[in-house]
Structure 1
């Protein structure tokens, strides 16, 4: 007898301590209420999120696997076994949408190989929300992850991204470890041409949200403390 495969649900979560139902649609709540199998970035964070969505859910009955930088890639296919047995499985990132700048993408890739239906649910993506609020080219943009830590290498990479932005009319997005955000902004306005625009999108969806676009020259006069605050940087020449 053929068993109907379960679906792989990509379940977005909040970008901070915002009450979930202020930024997530009802469909996310319904998914969390019925799914018992999860693949998550960190179990503790995922359990806290699930509880915030459905406080009555039996936490002891949840089957949770972790996928992060410590995961052996060979273990990923096994994580999808519940889908092959007819159970729906949910993927939860630590923040925002699974699969976008997130190890959940590897799970999705394997799901397609196994013929498992992938269901992305609506939720906050810091990358898209920052682009929406930047005023930059939303038709052509690239997310570059982290830039080099070494000052010289970082400066070269910033110049390279600025040149690409100018040649291709392409917005360039990247992030930094939160405790180095202030140094990153200083590197940007000291390295870029004066008329290159920089968007700083910080604490997106939180009460402390700060989003501002200005030229590199103007940023030298702007006072803002980004220390230990989740921040996206975007540049456009």
Structure 2
């Protein structure tokens, strides 16, 4: 991506283009929406929505009548994205919304933003509620460093591969999960990451909002007695400093001796220095490494 500079609220003299507004919608309670979001939705010429039926309910509640309500979702984004961009280039202002929360988070909005940036279209965020961050701040787990992972894939092997990459990360981990998969996901989390502290948040900002906090074992026992309902945010404790250091110190354990040396050579070390560093990692003498590789 080449360097660009966007001045969101200065006149775009002579461009004739509209702008793309990323408008946060309620994650549960209708009062989650901001005054600015309502004003923006009223002022924009077009509203693009993941589910137009769901969005129409919101618009009706706040008496918003756009010139055009456009369907934009994962299955039609390849065709709809360029068409929406064309409208903006022609001077229309477009508001993008998701079914709940911030658009472009775990939905195809990110692709539309990419197209807009490539065309030099101003992209303006209209902040608001977000389920993952709402769950995080109320979880009781560390908030100074975290990673949003979103929805995990369906296959166990793929899930384990993703989780394995975060096994030694000290940051808190954030996931979205459906009620019929949450128990399965918690079991895999326990197998890969251990019996860590977690918070299960569901029905956020709604009447039946609920947080379950405890170890994975404890949360699984709770779900056996209280069958999962509603969409969940899973907040998972990160690795301890000791776990992180142990993982980092043994990153090479699955490498052969030759692969270990080759790794350091690829970083620019001479073969002699690469063998010396490999010997240090493994706690053996440089001569042992040399003799094994000749």
Question: Do both proteins adopt the same fold according to a TM-score greater than 0.5, normalized to the shorter chain?
Answer: yes
The DSSP-based 3-state class of the residue aligned with 1:80 is helix
Check 1:189–1:220 CA distance in 2 against 1; reply closer, same or farther (3 A cut): farther
The DSSP-based 3-state class of the residue aligned with 1:69 is coil
Greater Rg over alpha carbons, structure: 2
CA contact (8 A) 1:137 1:169 kept: no
Q: Does 1:225 align with 2:226?
A: yes
**What is the match of residue 13 of structure 1?**
25
**What is the match of residue 105 of structure 2?**
100
CA contact (8 A) 2:203 2:230 kept: yes
Q: Distance in 2 between matches of 1:116 and 1:159?
A: 36
Is there any run of 5+ residues in structure 1 with no aligned partner, and where?
Answer: none
Q: CA RMSD in A?
A: 2.6
- Normalised by the length of structure 2, the TM-score is 0.67
**What is the match of residue 210 of structure 1?**
210
**What is the match of residue 39 of structure 1?**
48
CA contact (8 A) 1:7 1:88 kept: yes
Q: Flag as ranges the 4+ runs of structure 1 deviating above 6 A.
A: none
Is there any run of 5+ residues in structure 2 with no aligned partner, and where?
Answer: 1-12, 240-294
Q: How far did 1:176 drift?
A: 2.2
CA contact (8 A) 2:113 2:123 kept: yes
Q: Distance in 2 between matches of 1:72 and 1:220?
A: 38
- Normalised by the length of structure 1, the TM-score is 0.82
Number of positions where the alignment pairs a residue of Structure 1 with one of Structure 2 = 225
CA contact (8 A) 2:147 2:172 kept: yes
Q: Aligned match of 1:142 in 139, 147, 150?
A: 147
**What is the match of residue 178 of structure 1?**
179
Q: How far did 1:170 drift?
A: 1.7
Greater relative contact order (Cα < 8 A, sep 6+) = 1
Deviation larger for 219-228 or 206-215: 219-228
Check 1:168–1:8 CA distance in 2 against 1; reply closer, same or farther (3 A cut): same
